[in-house]
Amino acid sequence: MHPYIRITRPVNSVMSGFAVFIAGIIAGGYPFTYKVILASIVSIVACSGGMVINDYFDYDIDKINRKDRVLPRGEMNLKAAFFYAVFLFVFACFIAYFVNFKAFFICITASILMFLYAYKLKRMCFVGNILVGFLTSLTFLYGGAAVNKMEAVGMLFICSFLANISREIMKDIDDIKGDKEMGSSTLPIIYGEKKSLLISQIFLLSGMVTTFLPYVYNIFGVQYLFMISVLNIFVFWTLYISKKNVSRAEKSLKIEMYGVLFVFFVSKIIDQIA
């Protein structure tokens, strides 16, 4: 795969676009408008920019933790990576202009936050975790913004926000060696791995609880309750294994988070058919 594609983490970037697309359908129903497609493309391009700028500022730490990445391998120089990231951010905002003002404003804000996160905020204790949790979950609000119905995906945003904070703390625990070398002030470095894992588990449990709210508030019916209950069995298993293998737990949680999105999507389709 070409370095200019690989550095964007194409799977992650495309999945962010997919999340926007599904959120747009959840918020606006089917058939969907062309603006949902445009918003999905914006997310893919902006997310790609975020990945590139993150690797640019993480160059030194990646030489320790992620030696297989594009920049540590010398497949792209730092100057090229920086301007590539800026181009992707600007291009994403250009496309967002043709969606609507909300989408345009969110894209500009998210691009600035992604830059600040990579530059400084990710190494600040807990601030980086909250910000990346917000930015990752913002894809769902963005799908709602494309159809001017952000409130329709509010609960999905909250579930994702809590789970993503949990996952980010797990990733910090897994990356503690390289972060110490760089003098970062992550949660595990300041408070230790044990306390950090407990905080991560609390956020994950909170996320699990919020997944039942769409049923409690009669947004979705019993079919949603059944599907989300089954999925939460796997999430609870992830919670359990996080004590022994945090790396495996954070990877499992990533899959389960997409499972929550799938449950929301299927429930919306069933609700619309009914």
Q: Where do the domains of the chain lie? A: 3-273
pLDDT in tens, the chain (274 residues): 898 999 999 999 999 999 999 999 988 877 778 999 999 999 999 999 999 999 999 888 777 777 788 888 888 999 999 999 999 999 999 999 999 999 999 999 999 999 999 998 887 888 989 999 999 999 999 999 999 999 889 999 999 999 999 999 999 998 887 777 777 788 999 999 999 999 999 999 999 999 999 999 888 999 999 999 999 999 999 999 999 999 999 999 999 999 999 999 999 888 878 6
Q: What is the CATH number of domain 3-273?
A: 1.10.357.140
CA–CA separation, 191 and 47 (whole Å): 30
CA–CA separation, 231 and 233 (whole Å): 5
CA–CA separation, 80 and 82 (whole Å): 5
According to the model, what pLDDT value does residue 54 have? 93
The alpha carbon torsion through 246, 252, 254, 260 (nearest 10 deg) reads -130
According to the model, what pLDDT value does residue 259 have? 94
CA–CA separation, 158 and 81 (whole Å): 33
CA–CA separation, 36 and 23 (whole Å): 9
According to the model, what pLDDT value does residue 267 have? 92
Q: Which residue has the tokens 């209950």?
A: 229
> 257: which 2 tokens?
């988070």
According to the model, what pLDDT value does residue 114 have? 97
Cis preceding-peptide flag for 72 (omega within 30 of 0) = no
The alpha carbon torsion through 175, 176, 181, 184 (nearest 10 deg) reads 100
According to the model, what pLDDT value does residue 97 have? 97
Closest by Cα among 16, 63, 33, 3 to 254: 16
CB 174 within 8 A of CB 247: yes
CB atoms within 10 A of CB 62: 20
According to the model, what pLDDT value does residue 94 have? 98
CB 103 within 8 A of CB 141: no
> 53: which 2 tokens?
């700028």
According to the model, what pLDDT value does residue 64 have? 76
According to the model, what pLDDT value does residue 274 have? 65
Closest by Cα among 2, 267, 11, 29 to 143: 29
According to the model, what pLDDT value does residue 208 have? 96
> 117: which 2 tokens?
């996160």
Closest by Cα among 123, 232, 252 to 185: 123
